[in-house]
Amino acid sequence: MKKKAKILMLVGALLPLLLFVFPLWKITLEAPQYPTPLGMFIHINDFSDANPHDIKNINLMNHYVGMKYIPEAIPEFKIFPAGILITTFIGLLIAWKANHKWYLYWFILMVVLSSAGLYDFYLWEHDYGHDLDPKAIMKFTNPDGSVMGFQPPLFGSKDILNFTAHSYPQLGAVSLGIGMGLSLLAYLFVRKENKKLKIS
Amino acid sequence: MLALIATTMLLVSCNQGGNSSNGALSSSAAEKVYVAPGEHDEFYAFVSGGFSGQLSVYGLPSGRLFKVIPVFSQDAEKAWGYNEETKPMLNTSHGFIPWDDSHHPDISQTNGELDGRFVFINGNNTPRIAKIDLSVFETTEIIEIPNSAGNHSSAFVTENTEYVVAGTRFSVPIPQRDMPINEYKGNFQGSLSFISVDPEDGGMDLSFQVLMPGFDYDLAHPGRGASHGWMFFSTYNSEESHSLMEVNASQNDKDFIAAVNWKKAEEYIKEGKFQTMPANYAHNVYDEETHTATSTMKKEVRVLDASELPGLVYLLPTPKSPHGCDVDPTGEYIVGNGKLSSDLTVHSFSKMIQAIENEKFDGEAYGIPILSFEDVLAGSVKQAGLGPLHTEFDGNGNGYTTFFISSEVVKWKVGTWEVVDRQPCYYSVGHLMIPGGNSRKPFGKYVLAMNKITKDRYLPTGPEVTQSAQLYDISGEKMELLLDFPTVGEPHYAAGIAADLVKERSKKIYNLEENKHKYATTSDANVKVERNGNEVHVYMTMIRSHFNPDNIEGIKVGDKVYFHVTNLEQDYDVPHGVSMIGANTSELLIMPGQTETFVWEPKQVGVWPFYCTDFCSALHQEMQGYVRVSPASSNIELSWSLGED
């Protein structure tokens, strides 16, 4: 059973590497004039078009309300890949050498780091949606008189003016989640096994 | 004859009565042509504009007009023939010609089936063949045809688009020379041109011409299957008359269908049996990457003389000045639509080959063997109507022929030659079209009849009223009239194709990265204005919703200002237009990623605006700019800006 758990931990530690292959997140913008919605994939090291020129066209749309252009690169594109490589390395060490309790520690580490990543993503989205050009062509206010923001949702769907924005995790994020799940599972397996041994 | 007319009229009126009394029938017709909002039609129909010189794109069965593709005539809406890029497309040996008469579109084929890559169409008046690229629905190549006049038996493609064939309607002195018209007989000649099409890029080249006797060459269709390698041309005026043709060219009981063995022609070319004639003709090519056309004058043409080269051409006697010359999907039957007759003559390809092999000839014309009528005849469709013009096939063993005088479409059985059905046309039908009709595999679901006269069929619009097309369902034993719709110009002929073979390849934008226009400005960093003497070049960009630059100073009266405008958009269906007050030319309508140029020669001092002419965005009305024009003697330096206070 411990061997099985070890394999689970090993696979769990490797799965986040798929983030280098598959996108982390996708934001999709639907509007009547866009029968093919505009879309942007967020990778751990890049933004990319869902269809050719989508980011350019999102920028063109957003300039009307004074939103900044989506940057070519952000610091996170360096930090996230390093984070994934380091935690994978740690995970592999744990799978190879360490006690099953370390599986749990690795899981907790990943939860903390992922949450930090999500929070960082939220901050970027907030800034992107609220830091508007004062010379914006169109200025909208909320019913309470405050300046309307155009922040896309972190998770889920939301109507923003004529657009419906969808924001959902992609295969990369799913791989990370499953990887983390496997490490927790590995920990629980061993713990259960140990309890059985103690009883018997 | 009178009895025949009476019988035909009776039949026609019977059918009219039958249609109008059946209300249930007409409601089902509405359903059959209804394409719900947002849905796509099943077929594209490329309908020529006749004297409009253009090619219209319709959907079938709805009859909705999608686009008018400018081909031979200037089009101010699209700047075709007005902007600097496309002016060379209308160049000829006679100089710039802003108009032509576009007649017969035909779609490229592979293995005898439509491949949906190109549409070819002839310019009748100043002989030319144009190619429309169906990835962009634009005319991308036009080649002038030397030694030709009234380029009518054109533009028909062979089974693998080896050639687009173009025959002269009028015979003329070849080469052209100063001579008395009444010495026509024996001195004037016809020419049949074979334009090769590059299998890779579709590039056209006038490969060779076949010199023929001085008849009129009216229409043509290629052999297919067993008859692949042959091209059939109908002729009239075998009398070789030159005046009062309606009488003098209608004297012979039979004219001919000329069968040209172009595989044999290729052998003769290989053997060097051609004559190289000096010539002068324009070859105009539009390059999709430079967004610019170039015109090159070609100086010679290879000519094969049909009178001297045995086995190249045979003449099939065909009654009564045949007009349409149509080949069935198997390639066995060649229909001669004798327009002054009530019968259709159908020749057999296999009987023709047999007669040639047995050398059973019935005389010759200028050294070209004439086969005996009875030896090549497969059968005739008797007393089918009055004035047969054109035939198409449904691929299920039926032929459909238009009758101009009795104004109807008649369906008949290939092989038994019996008439199955007839339906009236409103009025005086010319060509008809079944999608894929000139191929081995027609899509035998609809036939589109194209009418020359409409009289009372639509709301009147003064003395000039529209011409029309009528759509019939031919999926059943009897034809059913479904739809009647007005057309652009004269709907002379059409080519149809299943939409699925075309629509996936239709481009959405031009990639900016691939823009190799000499004056392209693909980023705002490269915007500039340059002076070279009194010539000024403005390197301008456009994107929602501004021009860059939008303020220009230092232009002087007497300058020649070239606006080279690049649309930086990379989104589907976001063109921008531009026009300058007082510019003696059309607007530009520029697709995403494209560069176009117009010339403005300011004549008055002042500050003159320009603006976007295509409603592009919410801030379209703000998409405008100013040019300051100073006196010719002024010292004001060139300057330009965007967004500066």
Tell whether B393 and B534 lie within a shared domain: no
At B86, is the secondary structure helix, strand, or coil? coil
Could you tell me the residue range of the domain that residue B80 belongs to? Answer: 42-505
Which of A39-43, B279-283, B337-341 shows the lowest per-residue confidence on average (mean pLDDT)?
B337-341
Chain A CB contacts of B543 below 8 Å = 60
User: Do B369 and B344 reside in the same domain of the chain?
Assistant: yes
B178 SS3 class: coil
Torsion of CA B349, B355, B361, B366, to 10 degrees: 40
Instruction: Look at strands B576-580 and B546-548 and give their pairing.
Output: unpaired
Domain end point (choices B478, B505, B532):
B505
Residue B165 tokens, joined: 């064939």
Q: Is residue B627 part of a domain?
A: yes
Residues of B in contact with A53 (CB under 8 A): 509, 570-571
Name the residue among B31, B62, B28 with its Cα closest to residue B45.
B62
Residue A53: closest CA among chain B residues belongs to which residue?
Answer: B570
Beta bridge partners of B625: B610
Tell me, yes or no, whether B9 lies in a domain. no
DSSP per position, A101-161: HHHHHHHHHHHHHHHHHHHHHHHHHHHHHH---TT-SS--B-TTSSBPP-PPPSSEEEEET
Residues 6+ apart with CB under 8 A from A69: A59, A62, A63
pLDDT band at A145 (very low <50, low <70, confident <90, very high): confident
Asked, for residue B559, whether it belongs to a domain, the answer is yes
Side-chain-facing half-sphere of B12: CA atoms under 13 Å:
20
pLDDT, residue B27, reads 62
Q: Is A57's CB within 8 Å of B544's CB?
A: no
* pLDDT bucket at A1, cuts 50 / 70 / 90: low
CA A117 to chain centroid? 7
A53 and B618 within 8 Å at the Cβ level: the answer is no
Whether residue A57 and residue B509 make contact (CB cut-off 8 A), yes or no, is no
Q: Chain B contacts of A52, Cβ < 8 Å?
A: 570
Q: How far is CA B375 from the centre of its chain?
A: 35
Work out the minimum CA distance from A18 to partner chain B, whole angstroms: 31
CA–CA–CA angle B234, B280, B120 (5° rounding): 45
B360-390 pLDDT, tens digit per residue, is 999 999 999 999 999 999 999 999 999 999 9
Rounded Cα–Cα distance for residues B223 and B209 (Å):
18
Region B451-479 average pLDDT? 96
> How far, in Å, CA of A187 to CA of B268, rounded?
86
Q: Which residue in B514, B523, B572 has the most chain A C-beta atoms within 10 A of its own C-beta, making it the best mutation to test that interface? A: B572
- Looking at the complex, report in whole angstroms how far the Cα of residue A86 sits from the nearest Cα belonging to chain B: 38
pLDDT band at B25 (very low <50, low <70, confident <90, very high): low
Examine the domain organization and report whether B411 and B358 are in the same domain: yes
- Min CA distance, B40 vs chain A (Å)? 14
- Whether B65 and B180 share a structural domain: yes
Nearest to B571 among A53, A137, A138 (CB): A53
Tell the residue number behind the tokens 């075709």, with chain if given.
Answer: B80
Average pLDDT over chain B reads 95
Please indicate, yes or no, whether residues B230 and B377 belong to a single structural domain of this protein.
Answer: yes
pLDDT at A200: 65
The residue written with tokens 């009647």 in the block is B484
**How many CB pairs below 8 Å do chains A and B form together?**
17
Q: Is the pLDDT of residue A10 over 60?
A: yes
Tell me which residues of chain A, numbers 165 to 194, contact chain B at a CB-CB cutoff of 8 Å. none
Give residue-wise pLDDT tens across range A89-120: 999 999 998 888 999 999 999 999 999 999 99
Q: Is residue B154 part of a domain?
A: yes
Residues of B in contact with A56 (CB under 8 A): 570-571
Residues of A in contact with B570 (CB under 8 A): 52-53, 56-57
| Contacts of range A9-12, beta carbons closer than 8 Å, 24 or more positions apart | A9/A91, A9/A94, A9/A95, A9/A103, A9/A106, A9/A182, A9/A183, A9/A186, A10/A92, A10/A95, A10/A96, A11/A179, A11/A182, A12/A91, A12/A95, A12/A178, A12/A179, A12/A180, A12/A181, A12/A182, A12/A183, A12/A185, A12/A186
B517 & B438 share domain: no
**What is the rounded CA–CA span in Å between residue B230 and residue B316?**
13
Q: CATH number of the domain at B220, please.
A: 2.130.10.10
In a domain, B594, yes or no: yes
- Over the stretch B400-457, which tens digit does the pLDDT of each residue have? 999 999 999 999 999 999 999 999 999 999 999 999 999 999 999 999 999 999 999 9
Mean pLDDT of B572-583: 97
Q: Is residue B626 part of a domain?
A: yes
Tell me which chain B residue has its CA closest to the CA of residue A61: B544
**Last residue of a domain, which of B474, B505, B536?**
B505
Q: Which residues pair with B50 in a beta bridge?
A: B102
CB contact under 8 A, B570 and A56: yes
Q: What is the mean pLDDT of residues B158-162?
A: 98
The residue among A32, A139, A18, A33 whose CA lies nearest residue A81 is A18
- A57 to chain B: nearest residue by CA? B571
Q: Answer with the one of B455, B474, B505 that is the final residue of a domain.
A: B505
**CB < 8 Å to B619, chain A:** 64, 137
Q: Which of B509, B544, B572 sits opposite A60 (nearest CB)?
A: B544
Is B571 in Cβ contact with A64 (below 8 Å)?
A: no
CB contact under 8 A, B509 and A53: yes
Same domain membership, residue B594 and residue B612: yes
Instruction: Give the pLDDT score at B15.
Output: 46
Judge whether A195 is closer than 8 Å to chain B, CB to CB.
no
The pair of three-digit structure tokens given for residue B458, joined into one six-digit string = 């639509």
Report the DSSP pairing between strands B535-543 and B546-548.
antiparallel
Same domain, B425 and B564: no
Residue B30 lies in a domain: no
Q: Work out the end-to-end distance of chain B between its first and last CA atoms, rounded to an integer number of angstroms.
A: 85
Distance from CA of B570 to the nearest CA of A (A): 6
3-state class of B117 per DSSP?
strand
Q: Is A56 on the interface with B (CB under 8 A)?
A: yes
B627: domain CATH number is: 2.60.40.420
Domain contains B23: no
Q: Does A112 touch chain B (CB under 8 A)?
A: no
CA distance B132 to B121: 8
Q: What is the pLDDT of residues B163-207, one digit of tens each?
A: 999 999 999 999 999 999 999 999 999 999 999 999 999 999 999
Closest CA to B291 of B118, B136, B130: B136
Q: Are B244 and B273 members of one domain?
A: yes
Q: Give me the pLDDT at residue B142, please.
A: 98
Which positions in chain A touch B571 (Cβ < 8 Å)? 53, 56-57, 60
pLDDT beyond 90 at B516 = yes
Q: Are residues B375 and B414 in the same domain?
A: yes
CA-to-CA dists, residue B461 to B33, B425, B427, B485, B488, angstroms: 26, 21, 17, 15, 14
pLDDT tens for B323-333 read 999 999 999 99
Lookup: tokens for B282: 């324009």
Given B543, B570, B618, which is nearest A53 (Cβ)? B570
Chain centre distance of CA B358: 40
pLDDT at res. A183? 95
Phi, psi (5° rounding) for residue A90?
Answer: -60, -45
| Amino acid residing at B432 | L
Distance from CA of A127 to the nearest CA of B (A): 24
* Cβ-contact B419, B91 below 8 angstroms: no
Give the start-end residues of each E strand in B126-173.
Answer: 128-133, 138-144, 153-157, 163-167, 172-173
pLDDT (tens digit, 9 = 90+) per residue, B263-306?
999 999 999 999 999 999 999 999 999 999 999 999 999 999 99
Amino acid at the residue B253: D
Chain B contact present for A64, CB below 8 A = yes
Closest chain B CA to residue A59: B544
Q: Are residues B480 and B539 in the same domain?
A: no
CA distance B212 to B234: 13
CB contact under 8 A, A53 and B543: no
Q: Measure the CA–CA gap between B104 and B233, rounded to whole angstroms.
A: 14
Q: Are residues B230 and B275 in the same domain?
A: yes
User: What is the maximal distance between C-alpha atoms in chain A?
Assistant: 75
Residues of A in contact with B569 (CB under 8 A): 60
First to last CA, chain A: 16
- The rounded percent of chain B whose pLDDT value lies above 90 is 93
Ranking A126-135, B54-63, B588-597 by mean pLDDT, the lowest is A126-135
Q: How far is A61 from chain B (nearest CA, A)?
A: 9
Q: Map B424-488 to HEC letters.
A: ECCCCEEEEECCCCCCCCCCCCEEEEEECCCCCCCCCCCCCCCCEEEEEECCCCCCEEEEEEECC
Domains in chain B: how many in total?
Answer: 2
Q: Is A158 near chain B, with CB under 8 Å?
A: no
Chain A contact set for B546 (CB, 8 A): none
pLDDT at residue A178 greater than cutoff 80: yes
Closest B-chain CA to A54: B571
